[in-house]
Amino acid sequence: MIKLYNTLTARKDPFVPIEEGKVKMYACGPTVYNFFHVGNARCFVLFDMLRRYFEYRGYEVTFVQNFTDIDDKVIRRANEEGVTYTDIAERYIKEYFTDARGLGVRAATVHPHATENMGEILSIVKGLVDEGFAYPMDGDVYFRTRKFRDYGKLSGQAVEDLESGARIDVNDKKEDPLDFALWKAAKPGEPSWASPWGEGRPGWHIECSAMVRRYLGKTIDIHCGGQDLIFPHHENEIAQSECCNHAPFANFWLHNGYINVDNRKMSKSLGNFFTVREIAEKYGYLPIRYFLLSSHYRSPINFSEEVIAQASAALDRIFNCVDSLAFYVKNAEGELRPQEAELCAAFRATKDAMIEGMDDDFNTGAGIAALFDLVALINKALAAKPSAAAAREAKALLDEMTELFGFVRTEDEDSELTAWIEEKIAARAAAKREKNYAAADAIRAELLERGVTLQDTSQGTKYTVAR
């Protein structure tokens, strides 16, 4: 049984879906005004992995991740560049997908935009005003926080303690300092939409509540996001959604830990961030994915270029095994030998260990450790020349586990492999010209370990790569 740490209950709870065999899941997406950084990417990669794992375990997942395409930061960027907010949003939504694809993050079932959901947003705000949970004031609309008796249940903070909280917006218009904006009156030069309270635009929190209700319903199985969103964003989502819908909002809340640089949270506001794009240009995307999945999702992790280089080396060990095994399977013969039954059982045991780790609060670090156990077993088995049947069983398991974790090379990685092969062929040719045949043979052997077979012809050296 899958168990997940639920921020709402502060314990690991067995996952029981609302509808058997199905998962309704929402993750807060990016505010699209810039390239996203490695800290943002942790959320995107982790919850892509959670979705993959639920599907791997046989669930049908409806996964919604939004784009916040109207926000102070989007408007500010547009004004700085002298373009419209839609120009900025469309540009960085496109850039999001470029980086997400590189990271192996699959598109969500639905990627709604906040601006596409004004009807749903206004419906919820009007409902809250009609029932007395919200009040208009000079074109703004505020939520009466104290009227929701369970306010603070996610963050574990009492209302009286929150009055002095760091992120409470105090102004003279509100009835109470704890009240938060559902709708903001239009300001000169800003985009706005018509509403019963005048021209304006939605508050940040109401956007997610509207998109959850429209695309997933009143109650969902899992709501995900970064730890920094617990308060006030997710706390406010719960308050406005449960008051409007008269139903629980989300049964499970999952929050990933921070990424730190020099023991400080990575963030754009602190200026200590690295974009995924700039790291990928140097190391590729997959080492970033590996780094983000190699630790438990709730733990803080420290980022450095050194750890990305280590992640790249770890992936090389996996891909070397993938290539060597594929080449061996292509050329091996023979049915399963009696003495190989124990070997195949050991292969299968790594999958069981991976599932056990992942079922226990989505422990991707334990899952990857099991993958490396399989890699070690395969490398040892290949040295002993297993039967084709045993090698095929190992290959099926290795392919299954690398696909699950998204450790699959793209065309870009294939291009890197091609460049490496050609560099090795040139070095071998140089060694042969110098009559250093031992070095030439060592290079051929190194290529063969990666599944690369050389053929010397009158037109030059040709090669094939086992897949």
**Which residues make Cβ contacts (< 8 Å) with residue 105, sequence separation at least 6?**
44, 45, 48, 406
pLDDT single digits (tens) 172-184 = 689 999 999 999 9
**Which residues make Cβ contacts (< 8 Å) with residue 253, sequence separation at least 6?**
6, 7, 8, 154, 222, 223, 224, 230, 234
pLDDT confidence bin for 166, thresholds 50/70/90: very low
pLDDT confidence bin for 411, thresholds 50/70/90: low
Q: 3-state class of 1 per DSSP? A: coil
Is pLDDT of 168 > 60?
Answer: no
For residues 294 and 364, the answer to whether their CB atoms sit within 8 Å is yes
Nearest-angstrom CA–CA distance, 125 and 118: 10
Nearest-angstrom CA–CA distance, 193 and 118: 8
Domain boundaries, the chain: 3-301, 305-405, 411-465
Nearest-angstrom CA–CA distance, 41 and 230: 18
Does 305-405 carry CATH code 1.20.120.640? yes
- What pLDDT score was predicted for residue 437? 86
**Is 0.95 surpassed by the pTM of this model?**
no
The two beta strands, 200-202 and 180-185, are antiparallel
- What pLDDT score was predicted for residue 261? 82
- What pLDDT score was predicted for residue 454? 86
pLDDT confidence bin for 440, thresholds 50/70/90: confident
- What pLDDT score was predicted for residue 170? 58
Structure tokens at 123: 């419906």
pLDDT confidence bin for 159, thresholds 50/70/90: confident
Query: How many CB atoms neighbour CB 381 within 10 A?
Result: 20
User: Is residue 100 classed exposed, middle or buried when 0-12, 13-18 and 19+ CB atoms within 10 A define those classes?
Assistant: buried
- Tell me the average pLDDT of the chain: 92
pLDDT single digits (tens) 78-89 = 999 999 999 999
Average pLDDT score over residue span 330-345 = 91
Nearest-angstrom CA–CA distance, 387 and 313: 29
pLDDT confidence bin for 412, thresholds 50/70/90: low
**Which residues make Cβ contacts (< 8 Å) with residue 426, sequence separation at least 6?**
none
pLDDT single digits (tens) 185-230 = 999 989 999 999 999 999 999 999 999 999 999 999 999 999 999 9
Is pLDDT of 123 > 80?
Answer: yes
Query: How many CB atoms neighbour CB 411 within 10 A?
Result: 7
- What pLDDT score was predicted for residue 335? 92
CATH topology of domain 3-301: Rossmann fold (3.40.50)
User: Is residue 270 classed exposed, middle or buried when 0-12, 13-18 and 19+ CB atoms within 10 A define those classes?
Assistant: exposed
Structure tokens at 111: 């990627």
What would the DSSP string read from start to end of 102-161?
HTTPPPPSB--BGGGGHHHHHHHHHHHHHTTSEEEETTEEEE-GGGSTTTTTTTT--HHH
Beta bridge pairs of residue 223: 26, 253
Nearest-angstrom CA–CA distance, 291 and 264: 18
DSSP 19: S
Average pLDDT score over residue span 349-367 = 98
Nearest-angstrom CA–CA distance, 174 and 451: 68
In the block, tokens 């050329």 appear at 331
pLDDT single digits (tens) 283-312 = 999 999 999 999 999 999 999 889 999 999
Nearest-angstrom CA–CA distance, 287 and 429: 32
Nearest-angstrom CA–CA distance, 135 and 120: 18
Residue 23 backbone zone (phi > 0: left; psi -120 to 50: alpha; other: beta):
beta
Nearest-angstrom CA–CA distance, 101 and 412: 12
Strands, DSSP E only, in 186-325? Answer: 200-202, 220-226, 250-256, 259-261, 264-265, 301-302
